[in-house]
């Protein structure tokens, strides 16, 4: 493709993945965030609940001052409290919904573009009941968010049997779930991530085609699933081309072609397309970020 990819999307990056050490102190968080904000390559910074209270009044205005946008990931709210949004235990499910509502409040106060969450573990024999619970939770979140404004609520599709072991999950189930929610609310959609597609044991076509009408957010990344004994195994987002990993330039090019063909990459809407990449085994985060930029540049040439 000769035109810049920026004509078709706003490029973003997940801050906590790119700089894992940012979670160690408020100073580390701010210094690494500022590094990303100084780099005008990135128009969107993806963050979640802030790890230190003193950052709450500093981070959102800092991002705005750089003329960048932000998205809000509610994943850590569920992980930190070990809560399951699709739990068959009604008390746990309600607790999960409540903490995500608190995240929605925070996301609105920060001016986030969207609020993201994920489904959690399930048992195969009660999968349909878990899906019903997830739909019920999602409808509650959409209703809550709708009363406050037009911010999108977005579920990220994860693996179902390797790492996160999330209910959503395979594309056919993601499509059924999204159809049930969007029949009631127009402020909901799905997030796809090319690092998760190999983990779901699907091709790019198999992963994207069933859910194409529901996609409102997209990530780019890599995964290693060839060796369970490897420390990078699973949902660890190694750099593109990492030894024994799944995704490199040609794979990313195929993903971009698909996202273009289904209408996600679009000159009018310019939706978010973010890197989710993480240094492995003491790698330099700046080298990992440079790897991602070069890989995207070369992949876009192949589109």
Each residue of 126-166: pLDDT tens digit?
999 999 999 999 999 999 999 999 999 999 999 999 999 99
- Whose CA is closest to 114, among 72, 149, 143? 72
- Whose CA is closest to 151, among 189, 178, 177, 97? 189
Note the Cα 151 to chain centre separation in Å: 16
287, 278 Cβ separation under 8 angstroms: no
- In angstroms, the Cα distances linking 219 to 15, 185, 271 are 13, 23, 11
Cα separation, 4 vs 49, whole angstroms? 33
Cα separation, 227 vs 216, whole angstroms? 32
So what's the pLDDT on residue 1?
82
> What token pair was written down for 283?
């790698």
Omega before residue 169 within 30° of 0, cis = yes
71, 47 Cβ separation under 8 angstroms: yes
Tens-place pLDDT, residues 227-253: 999 999 999 999 999 999 999 999 999
Residue 79 pLDDT level (bands cut at 50, 70, 90): very high
Mean pLDDT calculated for residue range 8-29:
97
- The model's pTM is 0.96
- Whose CA is closest to 69, among 101, 121, 107, 105? 107
3-state secondary structure (DSSP) of residue 179: helix
Cα separation, 223 vs 162, whole angstroms? 11
Residue 251, burial from CB neighbour count under 10 angstroms (0-12, 13-18, 19+) = buried
So what's the pLDDT on residue 266?
97
So what's the pLDDT on residue 220?
98
So what's the pLDDT on residue 53?
92
Cα separation, 6 vs 41, whole angstroms? 10
Q: Which residue has the tokens 């909901």?
A: 188
- Whose CA is closest to 146, among 110, 118, 108? 108
Note the Cα 188 to chain centre separation in Å: 14
- Number of residues in the chain: 303
Cα separation, 38 vs 275, whole angstroms? 17
Phi, psi of 160 (to 5 degrees): -115, -5
Cα separation, 78 vs 118, whole angstroms? 9
- In angstroms, the Cα distances linking 110 to 16, 62, 96, 101 are 17, 11, 21, 14
Tens-place pLDDT, residues 171-206: 999 999 999 999 999 999 999 999 999 999 999 999
What is the CATH T-level fold of the domain 5-301, as seen in this structure? TIM Barrel (3.20.20)
So what's the pLDDT on residue 167?
98
Mean pLDDT calculated for residue range 21-26:
95
Residue 2 pLDDT level (bands cut at 50, 70, 90): confident
């Amino acid at each position: 493709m000769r035109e810049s990819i920026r004509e078709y999307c706003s490029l973003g990056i997940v801050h906590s993945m790119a700089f894992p050490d940012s979670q160690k102190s408020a100073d580390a968080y701010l210094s690494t965030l500022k590094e990303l904000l100084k780099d005008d390559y990135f128009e969107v910074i993806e963050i979640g609940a802030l790890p230190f209270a003193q950052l709450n009044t500093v981070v959102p205005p800092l991002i705005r001052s750089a003329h960048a946008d932000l998205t809000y990931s509610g994943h850590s709210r569920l992980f930190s409290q070990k809560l399951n949004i699709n739990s068959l235990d009604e008390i746990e499910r309600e607790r999960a919904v409540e903490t995500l509502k608190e995240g929605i409040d925070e996301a609105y106060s920060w001016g986030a573009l969207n609020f993201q969450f994920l489904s959690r573990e399930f048992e195969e024999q009660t999968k349909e009941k878990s899906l019903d619970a997830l739909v019920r939770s999602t409808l509650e979140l959409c209703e809550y968010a709708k009363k406050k404004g037009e911010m999108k609520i977005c579920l990220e599709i994860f693996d179902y049997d390797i790492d996160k072991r999330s209910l959503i999950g395979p594309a056919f189930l993601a499509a059924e779930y999204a159809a049930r929610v969007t029949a009631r609310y127009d402020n909901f959609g799905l997030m796809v991530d090319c690092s998760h597609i190999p983990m779901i044991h699907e091709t790019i076509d198999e992963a994207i085609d069933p859910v194409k009408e529901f996609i409102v957010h997209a990530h780019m990344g890599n995964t290693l699933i060839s060796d369970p004994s490897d420390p990078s195994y699973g949902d660890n987002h190694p750099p593109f081309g990492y030894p024994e990993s799944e995704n490199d330039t040609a794979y990313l090019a195929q993903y971009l072609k698909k996202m273009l063909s289904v209408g996600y990459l679009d000159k009018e809407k310019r939706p978010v397309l973010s890197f989710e990449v993480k240094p492995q085994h003491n790698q330099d985060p700046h080298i990992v970020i440079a790897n991602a930029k070069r890989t995207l540049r070369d992949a876009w040439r192949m589109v």
